[in-house]
Amino acid sequence: MNDLAVQIEHISKKYDLGVINTGTFFRDMQTLIARKQGKPDPHAKIGDEYHDGQDSFWALKDVSLDIRQGDRVGIIGRNGAGKSTLLKLISRISAPTEGCIRINGRVASLLEVGTGFHKELTGRENIYLNGSILGMKKKIIDKKIDEIIDFSGIERHIDTPVKRYSSGMYVRLGFAVAAHLDSEILIADEVLAVGDIKFQQKAIGKMNSISSEQGRTVLFVSHNMQSVQALCNKGVILEKGRLTASGDIEDCVRKYHSVEDESNRSSWSGVEGDHNLSLLKAELIQNTNILELVITYEIHNPGLDYVFSILFYNKNNHRICFSSISDVSTDEQYEKLKSKGLHSIKLLIDSTLFATGEYHIEFDFAIHGYKRIVSPELKLFFEVFNTSNHRHSSENRLDAIEPSWKWKIIQ
């Protein structure tokens, strides 16, 4: 028990759409006091059936997990699997609806770009602010500040207000602070993907060294399996809010790929998304010169600025074109497609526009300017043999085309 950094016991997290907290100030205070004392939430119910209703959504369901000190744990799963929710619960940003989490040591979290920064303060001032939030004394931060600034690579702008920083600079500085201050547990979400490749490699190397040399625990979420394997020694797989596997990272990645490796599929059905929107079905029907893409999705949380785009890639994973239904629909039609309930849409694709070759599509269903909801790992594949021009798709350059897209609203 003494070597456990994090102990998770039967936690679940339910989001009540449109309902804030427990409903009363008194119950909120009881929950808060219980959390501060390390006790289970007195209002959590044990043994209830898990049902998603129209006004609720279970992001995690009965997850139990032990994480040992010094482990580097990769949390794997598709979008909407519950990865970010789990990290927020461990970081105590959010409280579980059911169950209990015990943490041995200080936690430094890097979950969203710029979290914990004051935009009017400079980068240097924000280092001291973040350090004090983590419980560090000023003299300790004084000793490490040069190292933090050097690692971030933004020395020239360190005395500039962070409101002028790009998202990449936010990430560099945020990671540098979190990695160099004395926290026993470091949590990093997919946010590292905002940085450039060199900095990602540098960050992974740093997390490796603080774990192996200092015995610190690292929890890491990424869709990039190479990064996960390079950093982590343990793995956890989440699927639709449930823990489906845990153990050695190589075994977990193998299990994940065995489920995800569907490189020839032209149709898919299931539930992919989050508590705002779910993709339920997608099918590519290939006729002589026309491809039909039929999509069914459900809006759970209307009123958001949703984007529905389809991205086309060649065999070498170069994007060649994309189509968004907002570009070809009227404002009235587009508002209807963002309303609550089930929707079906169809895209007609002239396949003679494509050179001979293999292609795939991805679903960029997102909240504009905020986040992508449908995972880029969900792909449908098709092949074109174009007898009209005998061209073959290039694997080394971008073959950009701008077709005249034809969308149809089915319901």
| pLDDT tens digit sequence for 39-53 | 666 655 443 444 455
Same domain, residue pair 217 and 300 = no
Chosen domain end from 200, 225, 259: 259
Same domain, residue pair 309 and 216 = no
What is the tens place of the pLDDT at every residue in 208-237? 888 888 888 999 888 777 788 888 999 999
Task: Give the CATH number, domain containing residue 237.
Answer: 3.40.50.300
Q: What residue numbers bound the domain in which 187 lies?
A: 4-259
Q: How confident is the model at residue 196 (pLDDT cuts 50, 70, 90)?
A: low
What pTM, to 2 d.p., does this model score?
0.57
Same domain, residue pair 225 and 283 = no
Same domain, residue pair 328 and 203 = no
The candidate with the shortest Cα–Cα distance to 381, out of 329, 297, 330, 314, is 314
Chosen domain end from 259, 290, 325: 259
Same domain, residue pair 175 and 55 = yes
Q: d(Cα 172, Cα 151) in Å, to the nearest integer? A: 8
Whether residue 75 is predicted with pLDDT greater than 90 in this model: the reply is yes
**What is the β-pairing status of strands 185-188 and 107-110?**
parallel
Dihedral pair phi/psi, residue 119, rounded to 5°: -65, -25
Same domain, residue pair 300 and 154 = no
Q: How confident is the model at residue 402 (pLDDT cuts 50, 70, 90)?
A: low
Same domain, residue pair 365 and 220 = no
Q: d(Cα 114, Cα 171) in Å, to the nearest integer? A: 7
The conformation of residue 392, written as its DSSP 8-state character, comes to B
Specify the DSSP element, H or E, that contains 129: helix 123-133
Specify the pLDDT at position 91: 85
Q: How confident is the model at residue 106 (pLDDT cuts 50, 70, 90)?
A: confident
Same domain, residue pair 245 and 391 = no
- Classify residue 292 by burial, with Cβ atoms within 10 Å: 0-12, 13-18, 19+: middle
SS3 state of residue 268 = strand
Same domain, residue pair 215 and 279 = no
Same domain, residue pair 84 and 169 = yes
Chosen domain end from 210, 243, 259: 259
Number of domains, the chain? 2
Dihedral pair phi/psi, residue 255, rounded to 5°: -65, -40
Same domain, residue pair 104 and 250 = yes
Q: DSSP secondary structure string, 132-155?
A: HHTT--HHHHHHHHHHHHHHHT-G
Same domain, residue pair 209 and 302 = no
Contact 210, 178 (CB under 8 A): no
CB atoms within 10 A of CB 50: 14
Task: Give the CATH number, domain containing residue 356.
Answer: 2.70.50.60
SS3 state of residue 192 = helix
